[in-house]
Amino acid sequence: MAVLIPAHDEGPRIARTVSAVASLPQVTRIVVVDDGSDDDTADLAAEAGAKVVRLQFNVGKGAALEAGASRVADADIIVLLDGDLAEAAVQAEKLIGPILDGSADMTVATFPRPEGKAGFGLVKGLARWGIARMGGGWLADAPLSGQRALSSECFESVRPFATGYGVEVALTIRALRRGFRLLEVPTTMSHAATGRDVAGFVHRGRQFVHVALALTKMAFERD
């Protein structure tokens, strides 16, 4: 089993994320794609035991995943994780079971509902609507979750990855359209929440645009 982690300026958490997932006995390879970080993300990931793909410029989450995809494509199961999970990354083990027992081709981690609403739900609502509309009516509880496990067949079928923050939406729609079985798995994972300051508004605005673009592309994509 291989783990692919895109990371941008995740110095404070990347080593803990890598160490946590490395503790799982099923994991044989961890690849971190350093997406043009300005901090020591790449060095810390390497010191923690990951193979590191260094990108000179920040290309966005989807392109970073695609840059590392060939390094994990030969594994039987591929796990996609965010770089800021820290110790919670060990819960990736919950995503593996349904793939191993053949009950799912892609699993998606759901997170506990936050006590205080960090965002406004617009991006999640758009993503959920688009997946239901173009994915045969499937209602996703966590349409934007980047914590996933995929069988090798499913992994190859849903590539290439969509650019930016639209990557998860495109992954889900392609998998559903192509007949793969998806299963959402409850976890207690958590990562840094996006606040209601200016930076948070900018992030959510960019995310909304990326998801909208991914949905537009999916609307015209034919299998």
Structure confidence by residue, pLDDT tens digits, 40-84: 999 999 999 999 999 999 999 999 999 999 999 999 999 999 999
Q: Tell me the pLDDT band of 131, cut-offs 50, 70 and 90.
A: very high
Does residue 169 sit within a domain? Answer: yes
What is the reported pLDDT for 12?
95
| 127 lies in some domain | no
| Sheet of strand 182-186, all strands in order from the earlier edge strand to the far edge | 51-55, 29-35, 2-7, 77-80, 148-151, 106-110, 182-186
pLDDT confidence tier of residue 211, bands split at 50, 70 and 90: very high
Strand-pair category, 148-151 with 106-110: antiparallel
pLDDT above 90: residue 207: no
Q: How many structural domains compose the chain?
A: 1
Residue 143 pLDDT class (50, 70, 90 cuts):
very high
Residue 164 has what pLDDT?
A: 81
The predicted model scores a pTM of 0.92
What domain range includes position 19?
Answer: 2-113+145-192
**Within-domain flag for 216:** no
Residue 82 lies in a domain: yes
pLDDT category at 160 given cuts 50, 70, 90 is very high
In this predicted structure, what is the pLDDT of residue 195? 55
Q: What is the CB neighbour count within 10 angstroms for residue 33?
A: 30
Confidence of residue 191 (pLDDT cuts 50, 70, 90): low
Q: Is residue 223 included in any domain, yes or no?
A: no
CATH, residue 55: 3.90.550.10
Of the pLDDT bands very low, low, confident and very high (cuts 50, 70, 90), residue 19 is very high
Residue 202 belongs to a domain:
no
The mean pLDDT of 195-212, rounded to a whole number, is 75
Mean per-residue pLDDT over the chain, rounded: 92
Distances in whole angstroms, Cα of residue 98 to Cα of each of 52, 90, 178: 28, 16, 19
Confidence (pLDDT) at 201: 63
pLDDT value, residue 120 = 55
148 has which bridge partners?
80, 108
145 or 199, which is more confident: 145
Domain assignment present for 100 = yes
In order, the DSSP letters of 153-180 are: HHHHHHPSPPSGGGHHHHHHHHHHHTT-
For residue 99, pLDDT beyond 90: yes
pLDDT higher than threshold 70 for residue 27: yes
| Domain assignment of residue 99, yes or no | yes
Whether residue 200 is predicted with pLDDT greater than 90 in this model: the reply is no
Give the span between the Cα atoms of 92 and 5, in whole angstroms.
12
